[in-house]
């Protein structure tokens, strides 16, 4: 289960003798630390002699990274890649030689030594990083998982640690909403934690003992260890910020080495979108468009183009002329790709006579200067590059000079968006210097300094407003058009190319000083102080846009000749700036004491204190009217204040300034009896500035216990098979601090500028106004999170196979939410109160197996799976409307109808002369209650199941108690998240395949990529949507050319809107939320495949290189899913979050219009000198 | 062991970019900006694109708007919640200010001044609540969620108004007597008191037990009428000059120099604007004046329609210069000039838009529901691009001004039965002088149109009020309410309230598309009618509030 440990274990294999330097350090560090703690000062220094040696395993293979320590001191080094070491010790001193995975031995020093380490099959000394310390894995009683850092973070073309952690441990959910290189994933541990504060339940991320909000700044190559603390017993030591789990990250530290090691790794990768939407031919799109509009009775019109039969025929002929191939980005051919009308034309009938409207007027078909577009453009091919390069370089240097050891690293990463025009660009630089000095044998001092810089640039306002993603997937492939005319671009590409820049430059600077004092054996004081500065500077300029505006007439007519007239499509300009500075410091001090009484009673006590303080300042400014677009500066713009419409004209400035503080006193006591009975008590007396003065402090206790039954004497007979067995149980309570700003404090804030009057004595100046104090409930208390966890750890066959299982229940009590309605006489909106309870239950299982076949072939496999479900057990809402929160509701449930099939003529009692049904046949439930907007169910439409058997289809009252024929058709939460890894190594070759998946996740979207012609304003159809019902009324009968088993019903433009059923997501007519069109986002994908080859050392040694490894690493190479649209199964959540309120992407059909997810193919090299 | 001693400083983090209630109340300046928020209660001509209280309300007999048929409070859930909720928000604002002021270290006069401001606003809110709903819960302190008063019952309306009067009396005694016209002053307090007490005095006098109200109370009426008269007198002693132009009270860019302004709302070009002129000069159909209102104006001989010796027809007979529109000039020439200041000189039915009111380049075609265009608020001073534009008008709005005080004064005197010719000459006759109309006398001739069952004097004073305040501040609805004359809004009983201009002499192509009655008068919104019921003397309590607070009872007729 613990992959990093596995990595260490397999270092014994002769084919892994040359493991990466990083992995070596990983194993070394943990041991050096524990060894140092165990040592005590010795009297005086004696004459030192040089001792050289080599450490080998029982097979004679060198053991790199083994720790060689002069026993009882901190004098020590690590063995090199070839197992060799050199150390200066007093003559005859005892050396303690250790390496994770081997039994530690003591040997007498001699000038030239050969030390043989035997493998330790129990691994009981494996150490796991926990809050404020480390813990032997065997003695662990809380729910803690460790990440296999080597496989998860190193040599992988993923620069964002958060993204790389996906699937790394059970219970950790990492959701990416798009493939944008600028986006960060949402990370949660064990699912939804609270419904307060917009259901934010982020874990606390601690890097080197200090909280860090955005870990995308970190360099994955600098990470030494990642632990995930999941239950309250493990996290309560961090107090109220750790209510929803902790991710503990440790960066590489400096270790004592006898030589200078230089490593360089680089990786070049190529990305390609996993899936891109595809339009059918323009001809097919227009046919469907007209059919959908005809049925509504609306003119099939788009920006003045009436898509009538003649238009469709022209599109068909274009297709034939061009061999049904789509057009690339090229010069538009007038008369072929598009035809510009030189005079107004009007609707005519088959005989050429004008069709008049009710007032006797001719009906305009096309106005002069308006173009008809026939060309079928390859939208995906025009907008996206097939391959996009990226590269990463890392350089690290480490060694020891005198008493100072150092680890220095430099990283550079460059990525580019997949868009062809004005692609996003991301560059990241990381510099880190970690220093450790053993000042004396009882005092260690050190420093960690890191500087991370990230520049992200993108076209202004991409993705919103005029963003190209919004428009290229909106109106089909014929209405762009996506070529140039006389070199000028049409609207959408012109926007993308010219809209101006939007650059975010941010810097993360962090410096830590730390010290460690060993007072006596077993008693160590640790202290550290960290100062963080996070600066972010976003600047953007909004430019004018020049090109051909195809949203209107594109030509002027003179003498019957059309002349295309490009011009300014957007005319205003602006400059914007969002500048923020986030500074904080953190101070930790804790005392650690270890003592064993009478061989059997082992105590470990820790107590300490923590203080942190931070300040945030932000300045947002905007000014319109650039005098020169090339000089987007505030002083060179003319916009003046205008509160009448502050967002669209003039200028504004919005400063924000906040600060916070937190402090805590914490303690932990571990006791074990002979390593069989384990007990751990944690407590933190926690203070947070978010709470009112008399409630700053609260105490959060937790306890956990373990029983290692495998160590009992009675278990001895089974030990050959079951080598390890442990029950664990834990319970704890934590308060939640992340409940929003000033929720406990009555504040008086300025009235927003836009609503400020000019009444008052100074007639020409604004009058300042302040709001009445916010109403804070006088009966408010902390939100409390209680977690109960039971675990079982098993090891079989000398732990070749291990298994770990956890079951947990988390109750979030007294959740903060707006109080139930209060009388208006209160004079303020109902304040937040402790309003409800959320219960989450889940389980996690992980399995791990490895085996050495012969002496060359190491094979390993591991797998993990986890699941959880959240139910609101208490909420003050008796009405229980389905899309509100109520007691008994399973969080994320999607309500809808069960699709039956399409209506056939037999389902109706008869038809009028025009084919309209006169009623339903006997036994067919009426769907009349679902009709709105002029729509009546007929032949070819969707038939829903009468679940309650009342002879009609409806949604009842839309409440949990009366939901008619509605049922829960799915759930938005990711369920059964799993991953598995298969790997092997043989001689210099290594291969590792990592699969990751989600067993169940549903989304009810209104995406035009899922339903044909669903939105009235768009009427778009994609290539996956052509299987819709087709047929007609021949005057006597309904004749279907498609049959009644088509995927989609008869078209109707505008099915995405709200129907007649309350309490459910939008959708109407044939597209009410229902089982058939639910989008299933389950997937399994080959997240990473790595194949490496390490050159024989004999070869590389000749040029004084310790190690050279070349590798191929690919991401998202294979995906298995059954998503019903042209988007990636990881496509997120925006707007898809049922019952929580989205961002409009559902009702506007924009789900799926995202930066595409991508597959990556990369090649890299790792060199160690 | 460790120096983590300054935990208090570490954890006491008051918000930086907003105040905490605990550290806000430190200076008079802070009290002032807190109190500034009360200014939002004076809607005036509205904010930006929104509606104001002038012209827009059409539940009266003066105008026909698209919603003129609605008793605003028919839709219990959606309409009344704001009328119920907003005052309590303001009352809380005032109660908190009163409580915090007590603990502040201010001079006695400053403290009294700001206490007066808070009580003035609280009293005004209770007046608005009571005239709307009758009995309402009385909240005299800051409430916490656990205060049982949150779920308290309604208090007798008379007691609530007495409470409000105490607030107002404190305000007029303690608010600083300063000359400002755009901020807090004793004059503003007196003006509010004048209005509130006139309302309460007449309401107490005319209310009818049979219509679900309390029985008339002459003592109470006298008390409040006297209070109103006192307040009006105090203002009349300080303000003696009317503005020379009637219309300039409504369509000026700056009312600072207007001598009769007591309190007005200032709008500033590009910074803070409204939409009132735009709604009455753009292509939006105007909520035109009714035939009933048109005929309420006196003739230049000082006599009403029934007895004037001048041509009293309201049927325009000639065409305007454009040859299309009926010309109103001859009709307006013989009527009170305030009519000409209020309606356009041509008839502009929906079938024939009129362009060229001010002869400006930005004139657009206008139409009116009744044919009578609303001219009063349009302003030639507005810049091009700022007149026919929503949210871009910046004429100032009068809120309290001397004309109204004169009307209040004369009416209070008349209702008290003590009105002398001097009283009239000192008040309403000054309004007559401004528009060169003959004076009102203490014993005017009876007008057969008097359908309110009041003396000829009171009838004439009420006419004067209607004419002077045409389209203004929703005065007319609340006047009818306090006079117990809401039945006058019934379109079946009083046909003229939904009729407009007469099109008898208009071209047939114009009349074809407009519904007219047998005599040729435009019927505005022909398919809509407004039927009076006695329950309309009180709005219904929002049902959502009754659902939350079981102690609330519904008003008679709405259960």
Nearest to B271 among A661, A696, A758 (CB): A758
Q: Which residue of chain B has the CA closest to A775?
A: B144
How is chain B split among helix, strand and coil, in percent rounded to 5? 40, 10, 50
Task: Give the C-alpha distances (Å, rounded to integers) separating A132 from A207, A435, A606, A688, A1113.
Answer: 12, 20, 8, 19, 35
DSSP code at position A770: B
pLDDT tens digits, one per residue of A229-255: 999 999 999 988 898 999 999 998 887
| Res. B269: pLDDT tops 50 | yes
Question: Per the CB < 8 Å rule, is A656 touching B17?
Answer: yes
Q: Looking at the predicted structure, is the pLDDT value of residue A1141 above 60?
A: no
Angle A305-A309-A315 from CA coordinates, rounded to 5°: 70
Give the chain A residue whose CA is nearest to the CA of B551: A823
Across the interface, of B19, B145, B182, the residue whose CB is closest to A819 is: B145
Query: Where does the pLDDT of residue A1065 fall: very low under 50, low under 70, confident under 90, or very high at 90 and above?
Result: confident
Which chain A residue shows the shortest CA-CA distance from B18?
A749
Residue B380 banded pLDDT, cuts 50, 70, 90: very high
DSSP A326: P
Residue among A742, A760, A766 minimizing CB distance to B182: A760
B214 pLDDT exceeds 70?
A: yes
Identify the band that residue A1144 occupies on the pLDDT scale cut at 50, 70 and 90: very low
B129: tokens are 């609540």
Q: What is the mean pLDDT of residues A356-381?
A: 82
Whether A802 and A796 have beta carbons less than 8 Å apart is answered as yes
- Residue A818 above 80 pLDDT? no
CB A930 within 8 A of CB A953: yes
Contact residues, chain A, for B20 at CB < 8 Å: 745-748
CA distance B326 to B336: 20
Long-range pairs, A410-417, Cβ under 8 A, ≥24: A411/A219, A411/A221, A411/A222, A413/A159, A413/A219, A414/A390, A415/A159, A415/A181, A415/A390, A416/A181, A416/A388, A416/A389, A416/A390, A417/A180, A417/A181, A417/A388, A417/A458, A417/A1155
Range picked from A1136-1145, B142-151, B266-275 for highest mean pLDDT: B142-151
Give the mean model confidence (pLDDT) for residues A780-795: 91
Across the interface, whether the CB atoms of A821 and B139 are under 8 A apart is answered no
Of A870 and A402, the one with more pLDDT: A870
From the centroid of its chain, how far is CA A38?
A: 41
CA distance B240 to chain A (A): 22
Give B41's contacts (C-beta < 8 A, 6+ positions apart). B90, B121, B124, B125
Which is more confidently placed, A977 or A153? A977
Average pLDDT over residues B128-139: 96
Confidence of residue A870 (pLDDT cuts 50, 70, 90): very high
pLDDT at A143: 92
> Residue A1138: what pLDDT?
33
| Cβ pair B145:A660 closer than 8 A | no
Task: Tell me how far apart the alpha carbons of residues A786 and A194 are, in angstroms, rounded to a whole number.
Answer: 12
Reduced to 3 states, what is the DSSP secondary structure of residue B207?
A: coil
Sequence-distant (≥ 6) Cβ neighbours of residue A142 within 8 angstroms: A130, A229, A230, A231, A233, A234, A680, A704, A728, A730, A789
Report the run of H or E that residue A567 belongs to, with start and end.
strand A567-570
| Residues 6 or more apart in contact with residue A259 via CB below 8 angstroms | A80, A399
- DSSP per-residue letters across B385-445: TSSSSTT-B---EEEEEHHHHHHHHHHHHHHHT---HHHHHHTHHHHHHHTT-PPP-SSPP
Determine the Cα angle at A715 with ends A712 and A718, to 5°: 150
Q: Are A662 and B266 an interchain contact pair (Cβ–Cβ within 8 Å)?
A: no
Where residue A297 falls (left for φ over 0; alpha for ψ -120 to 50; beta otherwise) is: left
- Going by the DSSP 8-state scheme, the letter that residue A216 receives in this structure is G
The whole-number pLDDT of residue A59 equals 65
Q: Work out the average pLDDT over A1029-1054.
A: 94
Two structure tokens written together for A849: 């197996």
What average pLDDT does this structure show over A431-441?
A: 92
Phi and psi torsions of A620, nearest 5°: -115, 125
Q: How confident is the model at residue A995 (pLDDT cuts 50, 70, 90)?
A: very high
| A323 Rama class: left (phi>0) / alpha (psi -120 to 50) / beta | left
Q: Is the pLDDT of residue B385 over 50?
A: yes
Q: What is the pLDDT of residue A358?
A: 59
Q: What pLDDT sits at residue A1148?
A: 66
In this prediction the ipTM stands at 0.90
Higher per-residue confidence, A54 vs A229: A229
pLDDT at A1146 over 80: no
DSSP string, B82-127: HHHHHHHHHHHHHHHHHHHHHTS---HHHHHHHHHHHHHHHHHHHH
Which H helix or E strand runs over A1000? strand A989-1000
Query: What would you measure as the largest C-alpha separation in chain A, in angstroms?
Result: 115
CB pairs under 8 A between A and B: 204
pLDDT of residue A943: 97
Predicted local confidence at residue A16, as pLDDT? 32
The 10s digit of each residue's pLDDT in A373-429 is 999 999 999 999 999 999 999 999 998 888 899 999 999 999 999 999 999 999 999
| The two structure tokens encoding residue A71 | 């026993």
Q: What is the pLDDT of residues B30-53, one digit of tens each?
A: 999 999 999 989 999 998 888 899
**Cβ of A661 and B11 within 8 Å?**
yes
- Residues of B whose CB is below 8 A from A760: 36, 39, 182-183
A46 confidence band (pLDDT: 50, 70, 90): low
User: What size, in residues, is chain A?
Assistant: 1169
**CA angle (A837 as vertex; A831, A839 as ends), nearest 5:** 150
Share of chain A above pLDDT 90, in %: 53
Distance of CA B472 to the CA centre of its chain: 5
- pLDDT (mean) for B321-342: 95
Strand A246-251 and strand A204-207: pairing? Answer: parallel
Give residue A757's pLDDT. 61
pLDDT band, very low/low/confident/very high, at A19 (cuts 50, 70, 90):
very low
A122 near A800, Cβ under 8 Å?
Answer: no
Contact B268 A755 (CB under 8 A): no
Alpha helices in A171-326 (DSSP H): 232-235, 282-296, 309-321
Q: Do A764 and B268 touch (CB under 8 A)?
A: yes
Chain A nearest C-alpha distance from B277 (Å): 17
Q: Which residue of B has its CA nearest to A607?
A: B1
pLDDT tens per residue across span B473-510: 899 999 999 999 999 999 999 999 999 999 999 988 78
- Please name the residue of chain B whose CA is at the shortest distance from the CA of residue A826: B150
CA distances from A694 to A20, A738, A775, B12 (A): 54, 18, 18, 10
Q: In Å, how far from its chain's centre is CA B496? A: 22
């Amino acid at each position: 289960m613990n992959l990093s440990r596995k990595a260490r274990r397999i270092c014994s294999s002769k084919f892994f003798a040359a493991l990466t330097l990083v992995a070596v350090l990983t194993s070394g560090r943990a041991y050096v630390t524990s060894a140092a703690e165990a040592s005590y000062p010795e009297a005086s220094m004696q004459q030192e002699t040089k001792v050289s040696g080599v450490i080998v395993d029982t097979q004679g293979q060198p053991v790199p990274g083994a720790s060689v320590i002069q026993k009882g001191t901190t004098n020590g080094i690590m063995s090199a890649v070839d197992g060799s070491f050199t150390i200066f010790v007093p003559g005859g001193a005892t050396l303690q030689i250790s390496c994770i995975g081997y039994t530690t031995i003591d040997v007498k020093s001699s000038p030239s030594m050969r030390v043989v380490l035997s493998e330790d099959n129990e691994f009981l000394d494996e150490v796991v990083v926990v809050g404020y310390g480390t813990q032997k894995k065997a003695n662990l009683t809380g729910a803690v998982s460790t990440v296999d850092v080597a496989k998860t973070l190193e040599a992988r073309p993923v620069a964002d640690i958060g993204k790389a952690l996906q699937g790394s441990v059970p219970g950790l959910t990492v959701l990416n909403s798009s493939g944008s290189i600028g986006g960060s994933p949402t990370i949660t541990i064990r699912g939804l934690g609270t419904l307060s504060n917009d259901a934010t339940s982020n874990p606390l991320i601690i890097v080197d003992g200090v909280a860090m909000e955005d870990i995308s700044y970190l360099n994955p190559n600098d990470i030494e260890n990642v632990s995930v603390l999941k239950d309250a017993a493990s996290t309560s030591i961090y107090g109220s910020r750790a209510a929803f789990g902790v991710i503990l990250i440790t960066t590489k530290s400096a270790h004592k080495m006898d030589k200078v090691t230089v490593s360089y790794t680089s990786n070049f990768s190529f990305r390609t979108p996993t899936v891109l939407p595809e339009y059918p031919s323009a001809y097919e799109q227009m046919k469907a468009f007209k059919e959908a509009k005809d049925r509504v009775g609306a003119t099939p019109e788009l920006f003045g183009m009436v898509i009538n039969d003649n238009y469709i025929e022209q599109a068909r002929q274009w297709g034939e002329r061009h061999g049904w191939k789509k057009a690339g980005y090229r010069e538009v051919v007038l008369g072929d790709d598009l035809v510009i009308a030189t005079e107004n034309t009007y609707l005519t009938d088959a005989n050429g006579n004008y069709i008049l409207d009710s007032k006797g007027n001719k009906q305009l078909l096309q106005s002069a200067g308006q173009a008809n577009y026939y060309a079928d453009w390859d939208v995906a091919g025009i907008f996206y590059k097939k391959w996009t390069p990226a590269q990463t370089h890392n350089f690290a240097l480490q060694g020891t000079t005198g008493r100072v050891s150092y680890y220095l690293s430099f990283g550079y990463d460059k990525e580019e968006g997949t868009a062809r025009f004005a692609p996003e660009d991301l560059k990241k630089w990381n510099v880190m210097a970690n220093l450790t000095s053993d000042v004396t044998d009882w005092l260690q001092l050190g420093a960690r300094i890191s500087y991370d810089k990230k520049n992200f640039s993108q076209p202004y306002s991409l993705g919103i407003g005029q963003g190209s993603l919004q428009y290229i997937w909106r109106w089909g492939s014929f209405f762009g058009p996506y070529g140039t005319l006389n070199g000028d671009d049409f609207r959408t590409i012109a926007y993308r190319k010219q809209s101006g820049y939007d650059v975010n430059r941010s810097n993360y600077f962090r410096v830590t000083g730390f010290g460690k004092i060993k007072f006596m054996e077993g008693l160590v004081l640790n202290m550290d102080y960290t100062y963080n500065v996070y600066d972010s500077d976003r600047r953007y300029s909004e430019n004018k846009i020049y090109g051909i505006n195809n949203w209107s007439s594109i030509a002027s007519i003179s003498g019957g000749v059309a002349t295309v007239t490009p011009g300014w499509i957007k005319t205003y300009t602006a400059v914007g700036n969002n500048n923020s500075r986030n500074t904080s410091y953190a101070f930790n001090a804790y005392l650690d004491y270890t003592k064993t009484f009478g061989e059997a009673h082992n105590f470990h006590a820790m107590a300490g204190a923590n203080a942190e303080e931070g300040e945030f300042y932000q300045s947002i400014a905007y000014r319109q009217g650039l005098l020169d677009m090339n000089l987007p500066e505030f002083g060179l713009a003319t916009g003046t204040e205008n509160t009448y419409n502050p967002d669209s004209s003039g200028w504004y400035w919005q400063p924000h300034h906040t600060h916070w503080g937190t402090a805590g006193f914490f303690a932990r006591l571990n006791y074990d009896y002979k390593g069989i009975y384990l007990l751990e008590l944690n407590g933190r007396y926690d203070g947070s500035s978010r709470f009112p003065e008399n409630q700053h402090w609260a105490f959060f206790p937790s306890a956990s216990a373990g029983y290692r039954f495998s160590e009992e004497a009675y278990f001895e007979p089974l030990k050959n098979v079951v080598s390890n067995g442990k029950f664990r149980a834990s319970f704890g309570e934590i308060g939640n601090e992340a409940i929003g700003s000033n929720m406990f404090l009555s504040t008086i804030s300025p009235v927003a500028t836009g609503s400020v009057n000019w009444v008052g004595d100074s007639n020409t100046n604004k009058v300042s106004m302040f709001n009445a104090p916010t109403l804070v409930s006088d009966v408010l208390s902390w939100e409390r999170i209680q977690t109960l966890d039971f675990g079982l750890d098993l090891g079989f066959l000398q732990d070749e196979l291990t298994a770990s299982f956890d079951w947990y229940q988390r109750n979030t009590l007294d959740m903060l939410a707006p109080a139930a309605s209060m009388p208006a006489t209160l004079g303020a909106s109902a304040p937040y109160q402790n309003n409800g309870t959320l219960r989450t239950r889940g389980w996690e299982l992980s399995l791990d197996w490895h085996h050495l076949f012969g002496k060359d072939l190491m094979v390993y496999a591991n797998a993990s799976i986890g699941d959880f479900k959240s139910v609101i057990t208490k909420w003050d809402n008796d009405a229980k409307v389905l899309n509100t929160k109520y007691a008994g509701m399973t969080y994320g449930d999607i309500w809808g109808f069960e699709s039956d099939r399409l209506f056939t003529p037999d389902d109706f009692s008869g038809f009028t002369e025009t084919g309209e049904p006169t009623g339903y046949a006997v036994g067919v439930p009426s769907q009349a209650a679902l009709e709105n907007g002029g729509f009546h169910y007929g032949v070819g439409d969707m038939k829903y199941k009468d679940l309650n058997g009342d002879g009609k289809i409806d949604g009842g009252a839309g409440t949990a108690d009366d939901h008619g024929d509605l049922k829960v058709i799915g759930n938005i939460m990711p369920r059964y998240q799993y991953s598995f890894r298969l790997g092997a190594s043989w001689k210099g070759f290594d291969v590792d395949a990592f699969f990751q998946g989600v067993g169940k996740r549903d989304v009810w979207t209104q995406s035009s990529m899922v339903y044909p012609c669903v939105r009235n304003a768009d009427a778009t159809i994609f290539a996956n949507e052509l299987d819709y019902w087709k047929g007609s009324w021949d005057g006597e009968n309904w004749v279907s050319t498609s049959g009644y088993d088509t995927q989609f019903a008869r078209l109707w433009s505008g099915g995405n809107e709200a129907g007649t059923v309350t309490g459910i997501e939008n959708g109407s007519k044939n597209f009410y939320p229902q089982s058939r069109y639910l989008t299933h986002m389950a997937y399994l994908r080959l997240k990473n495949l790595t194949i490496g080859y390490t050159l024989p050392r004999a070869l590389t040694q000749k040029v004084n290189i310790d190690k050279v490894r070349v590798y191929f690493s690919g991401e998202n190479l294979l995906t298995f899913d059954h998503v019903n649209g042209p988007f990636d199964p990881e496509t997120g959540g925006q707007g898809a979050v049922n019952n929580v309120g989205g961002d409009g992407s559902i009702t506007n059909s924009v789900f799926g219009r995202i930066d595409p997810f991508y597959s990556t193919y990369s090649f890299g090299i790792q060199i160690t000198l | 062991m460790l120096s983590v001693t300054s935990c208090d400083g570490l954890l006491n983090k008051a918000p930086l970019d907003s105040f905490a209630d605990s550290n806000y109340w430190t200076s008079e300046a802070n009290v002032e900006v807190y109190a500034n928020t009360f200014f939002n209660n004076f809607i005036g001509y509205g904010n930006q694109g929104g509606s104001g209280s002038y012209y827009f309300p059409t539940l009266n007999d003066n105008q026909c708007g698209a919603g003129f048929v609605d008793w605003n409070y028919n839709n219990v859930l959606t309409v009344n919640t704001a009328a119920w909720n907003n005052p309590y928000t303001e009352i809380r604002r005032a109660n908190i200010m009163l409580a915090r002021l007590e603990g502040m270290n201010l001079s006695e006069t400053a403290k009294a001044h700001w206490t007066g401001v808070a009580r003035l606003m609280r009293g005004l809110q209770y007046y608005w609540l009571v005239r709307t709903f009758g009995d309402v819960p009385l909240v005299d302190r800051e409430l916490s969620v656990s205060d049982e008063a949150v779920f308290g019952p309604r208090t007798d309306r008379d007691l609530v108004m007495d409470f409000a009067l105490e607030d107002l009396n404190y305000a007029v005694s303690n608010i600083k007597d300063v000359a400002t016209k755009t901020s807090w002053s004793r004059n503003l307090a007196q003006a509010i008191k004048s209005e509130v007490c006139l309302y309460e005095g007449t309401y107490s006098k005319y209310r009818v037990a049979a219509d679900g109200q309390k029985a008339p109370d002459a003592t109470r009426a006298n008390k409040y009428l006297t209070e109103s008269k006192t307040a009006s007198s105090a203002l009349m002693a300080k303000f003696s000059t009317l503005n020379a132009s009637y219309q300039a009270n409504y369509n000026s860019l700056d009312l600072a120099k207007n001598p009769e302004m007591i309190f007005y709302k200032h709008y500033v070009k590009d910074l803070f604007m409204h939409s009132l002129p735009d709604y009455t000069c753009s292509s939006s159909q105007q909520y035109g004046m009714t035939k009933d209102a048109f005929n309420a104006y006196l003739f230049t001989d000082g006599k009403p329609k029934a007895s004037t010796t001048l041509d009293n027809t309201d049927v325009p007979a000639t065409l305007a210069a454009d040859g299309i529109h009926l010309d109103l000039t001859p009709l307006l020439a013989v009527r009170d000039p305030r009519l000409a200041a209020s309606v356009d000189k041509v008839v502009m039915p929906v079938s024939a838009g009129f362009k060229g009111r001010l002869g400006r380049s930005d004139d657009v075609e206008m139409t009116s529901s009744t044919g009578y265009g609303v001219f009063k608020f349009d302003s030639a001073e507005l810049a091009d691009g700022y007149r026919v534009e929503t949210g871009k008008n910046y004429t100032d709005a009068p809120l309290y001004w001397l004309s109204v005080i004169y009307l209040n004064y004369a009416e209070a005197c008349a209702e008290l039965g003590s009105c002398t010719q001097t009283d009239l000459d000192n008040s309403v006759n000054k309004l007559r002088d401004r528009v060169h109309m003959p004076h009102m006398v203490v014993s005017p001739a009876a007008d057969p149109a008097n359908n309110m069952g009041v003396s000829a004097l009171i009838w004439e004073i009420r006419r004067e009020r209607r004419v002077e305040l045409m389209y203004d501040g929703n005065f007319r609805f609340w006047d009818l309410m306090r006079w117990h004359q809401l039945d006058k809004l019934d379109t079946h009983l009083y046909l003229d309230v939904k009729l407009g201009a007469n099109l008898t002499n208009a071209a047939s192509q114009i009349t074809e598309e407009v519904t007219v009655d047998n005599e040729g008068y435009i019927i505005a919104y022909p398919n809509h009618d407004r039927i009076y019921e006695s329950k309309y003397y009180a709005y219904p309590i929002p049902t959502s509030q009754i659902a939350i607070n079981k102690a609330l009872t519904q008003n008679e007729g709405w259960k």
